[in-house]
Amino acid sequence: MRALTFLAHRFVAGDDISDAIDAVRELNADGLKVTLDNLGEDSHDKEHALAAAEENLTMLRRIAESGVDANISLKLSQLGMGFDDGLARDSLLRIVAEAERLKNFVRIDMEGSKFTQKTLDLFYALHDAHPGVGIVLQASLRRTEGDCRDAVARKVRVRLCKGAYKEPAEAAYPDKKDVDANYDRCAAILAGAPIPAMATHDDARIEAALKAFDAAGLVKADYELQMLYGIRGKRARELRALGHAVRIYVPYGTHWFPYFYRRIRERKENLLFIARNFFE
């Protein structure tokens, strides 16, 4: 944990894959599954995009060698989407093929709305031939209810989150209560998709999703609850103790600032936490 400053330490597992595997081991010991993410987004040149692809391959291999319970999450802009979509597609294919070989799973994170359609197009282009890949949909976007229906029709594994990006009102609901209502609607729709993953720290959303899943006849093995590393860890363990499958999103790496900034923006109390640590 060399470059990582104390600021990001609460939300980021460390600088490199070895730090990350240590964090996975601790979470696994508490019965929590993990999805590992090598931090980075918006690669602007081929060299960085290819290095990111290599790191994802390394992650898959280290997970297999160490025997931990983890899959991986990645961002297509880190693989070059935006400046060379073909490069991003080729790298994604290599990563998904390696995940298949190792019997693992790749989740494509969803980024800002300028990437939504491109991300879904690339995902669907390879999904039918490679079922070991899943997508993320964001309840903040107006389009998402329709995207959830498509996902059910095409038997796609979806992680549902609220959405972490600042979006224009044409694309997204400006009001939090509309985002929450859309989250509940989308969760109920996704009860029809394979292993829906509810990614939220919001108890009311979790409760609504569990109610919808129960009404649809799902049992605990049919879905996952997901949370971010460093946020509501106690609640994650309580949910696990109730028998739910809980997966923690564990980011690592030195390009932590944009991720860290989104976490701070989401919650003012985090600024106080940082200020307190700074002065201590």
Ligand X SMILES: Cc1cc2nc3c(=O)[nH]c(=O)nc-3n(C[C@H](O)[C@H](O)[C@H](O)COP(=O)(O)OP(=O)(O)OC[C@H]3O[C@@H](n4cnc5c(N)ncnc54)[C@H](O)[C@@H]3O)c2cc1C
Interacting residue ranges for ligand X, rule: CB under 6 A = 109-110, 136, 138, 159, 161-165, 199-202, 226-228, 231-232, 249, 263, 266-267, 270
If the CB atoms of residues 161 and 189 are measured against ligand X, the closer one turns out to be 161
Q: Least distance from C-beta 27 to ligand X, angstroms? A: 13
Q: What is the 3-state secondary structure (H, E, C) of the chain?
A: CCCCCHHHHCCCCCCCHHHHHHHHHHHHHCCCEEEEEECCCCCCCHHHHHHHHHHHHHHHHHHHHHCCCEEEEECCCCCCCCCCHHHHHHHHHHHHHHHHHCCCCEEECCCCHHHHHHHHHHHHHHHCCCCCEEEEEECCECCHHHHHHHHHHCCCCEEEECCCCCCCCCCECCCHHHHHHHHHHHHHHHCCCCCCEEECCCHHHHHHHHHHHHHCCCCHHHCEEEEECCCCHHHHHHHHHCCCCEEEEEEECCCCHHHHHHHHHHCHHHHHHHHHHHHC
Among 174, 180, 185, CA closest to 162: 180
Q: Least distance from C-beta 64 to ligand X, angstroms? A: 22
Q: Least distance from C-beta 254 to ligand X, angstroms? A: 20
Q: Active site includes 237?
A: no
Q: How far is CA 258 from CA 234, 251, 253, 254, in A?
A: 25, 12, 12, 11
Q: Least distance from C-beta 123 to ligand X, angstroms? A: 12
If the CB atoms of residues 44 and 265 are measured against ligand X, the closer one turns out to be 265
If the CB atoms of residues 60 and 139 are measured against ligand X, the closer one turns out to be 139
Q: Least distance from C-beta 246 to ligand X, angstroms? A: 10
If the CB atoms of residues 34 and 60 are measured against ligand X, the closer one turns out to be 34
Nearest-angstrom CA–CA distance, 36 and 106: 10
If the CB atoms of residues 101 and 272 are measured against ligand X, the closer one turns out to be 272
If the CB atoms of residues 47 and 169 are measured against ligand X, the closer one turns out to be 169
Nearest-angstrom CA–CA distance, 84 and 78: 11
Q: Least distance from C-beta 261 to ligand X, angstroms? A: 11
Q: Active site includes 184?
A: no
Which residue in 109, 157, 205, 247 is the catalytic one?
A: 109
Which residue in 107, 159, 205, 263 is the catalytic one?
A: 159
Give catalytic residue positions. 109, 159
